[in-house]
Chain A
Amino acid sequence: MRYIPNSPEERQEMLRGLGLGSAAELFDSIPADVLLKRQLDTPAALAESELLELFESMAAKNAAARRPSFLGAGAYSHYAPTIVDSLIQRSEFFTAYTPYQPEISQGTLQAIFEFQTLVCQLTGMDVANASMYDGSTAMAEAVLMAERVTRRSRVLVSAAVHPEYLQVAETYVAHAGIELGRLEVDEASGRTTLDPSALEKDVAAVVVQSPNFFGCVEELKSFAEQVHAAGALLVVVVTEAASLGLLRSPGACGADIVVAEGQSFGVPVSFGGPYVGLFATREKYARQIPGRLAGVAYDKEGRRGFVLTLATREQHIRREKATSNICTNEGLIALAATIYMTTLGRRGLQEVAEQCAQKAAYARRQISAIEGFSLPHSAPVFNEFVVRAPSDAASLLRRLAESHNVTGGLALSRYSPDRPNDFLVCVTETNRRADIDALVEGLKAS
């Protein structure tokens, strides 16, 4: 096996040095009745060239990866500058472990500190952690944290939160003594409605996504006022992080916890992962935050460095009383996001967001002008919006893929069987005008 440095002969010598006759004797402490007495029934070894050929052939079956696409809904196709992937492939980053020994992990630690700062800047918050698995688990952790902070047990979640995020939260709270309530969506505007009478004394938090699952930008500021008046926390979820370059930050609107999916920042859609969850909150809740935190520290010579800090919140110290069970998070993906945000920078993040919104506005105009098609929601959007087709959306999109080689969006029937004709269209800076026009032509023809 070419990944094993010691040759079979060297290994024989090492075994002799240990006084062992064969490799099998290395496992003498395992009782015979649990030893596997046959070869594993997995395929025989492949050469590098054979392996690549096999994976290329499987990749070729993913026709959707080659088509212009208007899919969003939690995973977004943005252009990542070449240096993002090139830098994260440095051995020093991708083959390093969690920075438990700060003296030889300063590269990772400083990058985490930069990541935390960038997340704070974009979300408008005070403190951010080193990352969560993804946006969905970050939202579930925010629900748990809201319960810890407020000691209240009901959390109201907008029906316009990504349906898979809601499902994840349901799993996480199943045994946590937290009840999830629902905030309805106003059909005409596409925005969440918050009935003040719903804000009873036992409500720990209100969770809203903005832009929401239907693409509509929520009125976070008025939510914050009402939620705070009831002594609860406002949790804001962002699935399309590129929107932060243009939209008023959740922090500026009064959010107490902001969670986001950071995939938009230079991370390939890669069939759903690995992505990176962003988690940010107010200074006063720093000790309730889940996951790792990097902070500034100095050595005896006064040199600045970084360490993992406030670790007593975490599982390796507080065990069952920890703020979360998370250990390994998404370090390398957080690094990719950091490099992306740094490369695009102050102007680029705004420009990308602006282009997304401009192109989406163009696509909206063109699509809504097609006979039989309409836009059911009136609220402002960023780069995603719902289209109502004259017939079943799933079969329409299927035909569109075949006839015009374009993935036109996501049929909402996947999550909401009562919306058979609706589909969600997402436009980013990577969709050329020609792609949008082809989509429009396809819809007209169908």
Chain B
Amino acid sequence: MANVPEGLYYSKDHEWLRVEGETGTVGITDHAQHSLGDVVYVELPKSGETFAAHDTFGSVESVKAVSELFLPVAGEVTEVNESLTDEPEKVNTDPYGDGWMLRVKLSNRGEVDSLLSAAEYEDYIGSLE
């Protein structure tokens, strides 16, 4: 059973979002890292880049698959998890912690309401199986 912590927002593209004030932290879910397998490379944007909601902001690669990463909400990138360059496996071992990918300054705080709650996301991934 995939780990789906309470208190985060989720997208159907399997990204999570933690909101603290005007800042959102983004990563991929435990379900996503599990279906990808061993993550070997994470391609991320630079600080300062801005994205609309659902824009592709990078990609994550396993040995035999590559998945695009979609930003759940619009925002400007303020920080990138540089440590994933050397240790992409953190995405597997700690997807909600050390495996975080971006911090963004939210352009529109209201957008988070369109995202899924933990319970809703759990139902959603249940429906995929």
Contact = CB atoms under 8 A, between A and B. Distances in A.
State yes or no: do A and B touch (Cβ within 8 Å).
Answer: yes
B101 to A, nearest CB: 17
A289 to B, nearest CB: 14
A287 B42 CA distance: 12
Nearest to B40: A312
A379 interface: no
Contacts of B64: 311-312, 317
A352 to B, nearest CB: 40
Q: Is the interface of B mostly helix, strand, loop or mixed?
A: strand
Contacts of B40: 312
Contacts of A414: none
B55 to A, nearest CB: 16
Interface string B27-47: 000000000000011000000
Interface in A290-337: 311-312, 317-318
Interface in B53-73: 61-66
B128 to A, nearest CB: 22
Contacts of B62: 312
A312 B36 CA distance: 13
Interface string B5-27: 00000000000000000000000
Contacts of A317: 64-66
Contacts of B61: 312
Nearest to B68: A321
A318 B62 CA distance: 12
Contacts of B66: 312, 317-318
Of A287, A312, A317, most buried by chain B (CB within 10 Å of CB) is A312
A374 B38 CA distance: 65
Interface in A265-302: 287
A317 B65 CA distance: 6
A160 B62 CA distance: 43
B44 to A, nearest CB: 13
A233 to B, nearest CB: 20
Interface in A380-395: none
Interface string B64-95: 11100000000000000000000000000000
A333 B41 CA distance: 32
A312 B66 CA distance: 6
Nearest to B61: A312
Interface of A: 287, 311-312, 317-318
Given A312-B61, A317-B64, 4 more contacts: A311-B64, A312-B62, A312-B64, A312-B65
* 10 A-B pairs closest in CB distance: A312-B66, A312-B61, A318-B66, A317-B66, A317-B64, A317-B65, A311-B64, A311-B63, A312-B65, A312-B41
8 contacts: A287-B41, A311-B63, A312-B40, A312-B61, A312-B62, A317-B65, A317-B66, A318-B66
